[in-house]
Structure 1
Amino acid sequence: MPDQPVRRPPGTIRIGSIAGSDVLVSSSWFIVAGLVAVLVAPRVDQVQPGLGPWKYVAGLAFAVVLYLSVLLHEASHAVMARRYGFPVSSITLHFLGGMTAIEGEANKPRQEFMIAVVGPLTSLAVGAGAVGLWFVTPEGLLRMAVEGLAGANLLVGVLNLVPGLPLDGGRVLKSVVWGATGNVHRGTIVAGWGGRVTAVAVICWPIAQESVLGRPPDFLDFILAFVIALFLWSGATSAMASARLRRRLPGLVARDLARRTLTVPDDLPLGEAVRRAQEAEAGGIVTVTSGGRPTGVVNEAALLATPEGRRPWVAVSTVARTLDDGLSLPVGISGEELILAISRNPASEYLLVEEDGSIYGVLTTADVDRAFRETRQ
């Protein structure tokens, strides 16, 4: 069979791969690249007069070089994550920089710290290297590019160490609080508040800009501050909401939510299977072979949709879902692992089995949802 096409986020273009991960460029990157070209063009004209429209091409080339350093920053995250065994599906370059899509969460504070801190350290290293290169680069456009590369990477490295989510520094703070308290959720909440404080500082920056830099803010400064602050606030808020959600997940235990189950031959009339289940006060029906091997779980919605008059004439297997991979779960599964298992293989019912393969019961997503809502009260 041909390989299934890899789904990419809408509005992105794949330009290659690095560290085993797809490198994607979002449509917003072209906007910021054009903006950089326009902003850099006057400086290009000062350094190399007489280029005419080519000054914008030079500005665009600088934007490309700048984002290549952003790609190095993100690639360092990807390499470190893979070192700890976490898959990395993609690296995306966008309006505000880049994003590395790491699948899974760090299991230890040290993993979180190392994956987060390596990005800013890479930017600082690139910036320091560009500073050293500046001294041996002849004057002209090349020196201007090296100068801009040094300043941008040093700035990115320092700003990314600001202790607030969703910045890398926020993940560093999260790992420190996690290590000190032993509570990953508390670490996320603290780092989330750090991100919110940072967002407020960014939105207030244009007001203080003139007294600090001696240059009054223009319209673009206010727009940029608003966009960055919105990005920081929404990222921090999302992380905090996720932490509060995950804090409730340990209360979801499959064993405690299991329904008593009746096993029946798959060719038994549906009406008889329902009668036996009612007598046994069973909340789930599992079809089995003559040797006792489970083959399917009766779908409650399909059962209720079958008129009672037809039930004696149809086999129970007609309303049972075959036990494909992912529909049979260990009875000891719980918390976030349970939620991930359900999300990977969506279904209404799952079979819960003991370690020896014997049937324990049936778990329904309706019961999981109900239990989760109760944990919020």
Structure 2
Amino acid sequence: MSDPRPDRPAGWVLGHVAGAPVVLARSWVLAAVVLTLVFAPSVRKWTGGGGALPYVVALVFVVLLFASVLVHELAHGLVGRSRGQQPHAFVLTLWGGHTTFGGAAASPATSALVAVVGPVANLVLAAAFLLIADRAAPDGTLLQTVLRAGALANGFVGLFNLVPGLPLDGGRILEAVVWAASGDRHRGTVAAGWTGRVVAVGVLLAALVRPWLAGVSPDLGTVAWSALIGAFLWSGASAAVRGGRTGRAVAALTLERVGRPAAVVGARTSLAQVRATAAAADVAEVVVLAPDGRPAAYVDTEAAGRVPADLAGTTDVLAVSTPLPVGAVVDGTLRGDALLQALSTASAHGPVVAALVDGRVAALVRTRDVVAALRG
């Protein structure tokens, strides 16, 4: 699976490809042990042998399987890099693997192409394993059995990843199709996320319904594995739905949505003058300018409201104001992710930021208003 997130989990770095580390997550060890124990009984039936041999062969198969997963992820990364999407890390995990990128794909075509090459790589490997097993390996040998198992595993991984639901690669392809048709990337993400939820439920139902239709009891091991895979898919699909909705909210972020229009006054203004200025401008927020024109403070409306009218003329505006730290300003002409990034940087100085348009204070932006806008 391909993922635009730039984070990288902890693990062992095996090397670097295309400028990105190949990371073996610690959870892989657990997966290797569990899969070896699961496959060992089948190997014992194939070979008819006992002792440590079935476990050694099972471990070889598991390593071969994860090598195929690595090829899948490298295909994502190399094609992504050729399309201007730099891979950040290739990670092998408990659930297989994923490729993280430094940013999202620039177009639906790039997103779909990067997604599809992973499953295609597995299908090519499946064909290669099957060809070698039938043409080069002696009939009935353990080598031929392992190669055919590798072909089956790669074929399954390739085809399953093409199922159209996030977090699978097929979901990324569906996302690109909806994105291309609607012009809205985030609508595609939400649609593919909901489809992924359907797939997650379908995986569990298949383990329960197929035996019932055949008139036999479901295998508890199969049901347990299906439940784990379904839970993983549901989690990824739900994260995609939330991410799509949040992405849509970020794309729609503007000063008009999160800013509160503000008037400006000088530092020597009385509260009575502040009230008159705010009333004339029909705004509730007032910013106090320093002598050099920099926004230095904003009027605390609650504190100002507690001052009686007969004292407002003698009350200095700074007595009811909260300082604005240097740097707590943002360019009010920015939109979408650029505005969010600027607000994130400026809000490090405090929860209230002054927005400037053409060098003049236009509004105040409070962190809680931004959070509310993103939550929709």
TM-score interval, normalised by the smaller of the two chains? 0.7 to 0.9
Give the aligned partner of residue 136 of structure 2: 136
Amino acid at match of 2:68: S
Q: How is 1:170-189 mapped onto 2 (pairs within 5 angstroms)?
A: 170-189=171-190
Q: Distance in 1 between matches of 2:84 and 2:180?
A: 20
Higher mean alpha-carbon deviation, 247-256 vs 193-202, is at 247-256
The Cα shift of 1:288 comes to 5.9
Are 1:287 and 1:320, in contact at CA under 8 Å, matched by a contact in 2? no
Partner residue, 2:281: none
Gapped regions of structure 1 (runs ≥ 5) = 1-5
Query: How far, CA to CA, are the matches of 2:214 and 2:161 in structure 1?
Result: 21
Q: Does the 8 Å contact 2:285/2:298 carry over to 1? A: no
The one-letter code matched in structure 2 to 1:161 is: L
Q: State the Cα distance separating 1:88 from its structure 2 match.
A: 3.5
Deviation at 1:364, TM superposition (A): 2.7
Q: Give, in whole Å, the separation in 2 of the partners of 1:63 and 1:152.
A: 10
Distance 1:286 1:299, change over 3 A: closer
The amino acid of 1:26's aligned partner reads A
Structure 1 equivalent of residue 39 of structure 2: 40
More deviation in 184-193 or 338-347?
338-347
Q: Which residue in 1 is equivalent to 2:12?
A: 14
User: Which residue of structure 1 aligns with residue 168 of structure 2?
Assistant: 167
Q: Match of 1:76, as an amino acid?
A: A
Distance 2:243 2:335 in 1: 17
In 2, are the aligned partners of 1:350 and 1:364 still within 8 Å (CA)? yes
Cα pair 1:261 1:362 within 8 Å, conserved:
no
Distance 1:367 1:164, change over 3 A: closer
C-alpha distance in 2 between matches for 1:56 and 1:87: 39
Give the equivalent residue in structure 2 for 1:3: none
How far is the alpha carbon of 1:358 from its aligned partner?
Answer: 5.8
C-alpha contact 1:209 1:216 (8 A) present in aligned 2: no
Structure 2 residue 225 is matched with structure 1 residue 224? yes
Displacement after TM superposition at 1:38 (Å): 1.5
Percent identity among equivalent residues?
32
Counterpart of 1:321 in 2: which secondary structure?
coil
For 1:19 and 1:243, locate their aligned partners in 2 and report how far apart those are by CA, in whole Å.
29
Which residue does the alignment assign to 2:196? Answer: 195
Q: Hey, what's the Cα distance between the residues in 1 that align with 2:118 and 2:253?
A: 35
Q: CA deviation at 1:162?
A: 0.6
Q: Distance in 1 between matches of 2:113 and 2:330?
A: 33
Deviation (angstroms), 1:22 = 3.0
SS of residue paired to 1:14: strand
Worse-matched range after superposition: 163-172 or 93-102: 93-102
Paired residue for 1:366?
368
Match of 1:321 in 2: 325
Q: SS at 2:325's partner residue?
A: strand
Which amino acid in 1 is paired with 2:326?
T
Offset from partner CA, 1:316-371 (integer Å, 9 cap, x none): 9x944232xxx5533222234333443466432334344x6565554332332355
User: 1:54 Cα shift?
Assistant: 4.4
Q: 1:345 to 1:121 in 2, by over 3 A?
A: farther
Amino acid at match of 2:159: V
Instruction: Give the SS at the match of 2:174.
Output: helix
Q: Paired residue for 1:88?
A: 87
Distance in 2, matches of 1:154 and 1:240, equals 28
Write the deviation string for residues 253-298 of structure 1: whole angstroms up to 9, x where unpaired. Answer: 125625436487xxx79xx7989866754846477685x5x5x764
Q: How does 1:212-361 map to 2 (within 5 A)?
A: 217-254=218-255, 257=259, 259-260=261-262, 262=264, 280-281=277-278, 283=285, 285=287, 290=292, 294=294, 298=297, 319-323=323-327, 328-343=329-344, 346-347=347-348, 348-354=351-357, 360-361=362-363
Shift of 1:250: 4.6
Matched residue type, 1:33: A
Distance across 2 between alignment mates of 1:78 and 1:263: 55
Matched, 1:123 2:125: no
When structure 1 is superposed on structure 2, of 61-70 and 188-197 the one drifting more is 188-197
Q: Which amino acid aligns with 1:241?
A: R
**Match of 2:183, as an amino acid?**
G
Match of 2:55 in 1: 56
Q: Number of paired residues?
A: 350
TM-score of the two chains, using structure 1 as the length reference: 0.75
The offset of 1:120, in angstroms, is 1.0
* Cα distance in 2, alignment partners of residues 33 and 246 from structure 1: 36
Return closer, same or farther for 1:289/1:75 CA change in 2, 3 Å cut-off. farther
Distance 1:34 1:372 in 2: 43
State the TM-score, normalizing by the size of structure 2: 0.76
Name the residue aligned to 1:101. 100
Tell me: CA distance 1:370–1:36, structure 2 relative to 1, closer, same or farther (3 Å): closer
Kept in 2, the 8 Å contact 1:88–1:101? The answer is yes
> Which deviations, in whole Å up to 9, do the C-alpha atoms of 1:203-238 show, x marking residues without a partner?
112234448999964221010111111122222222
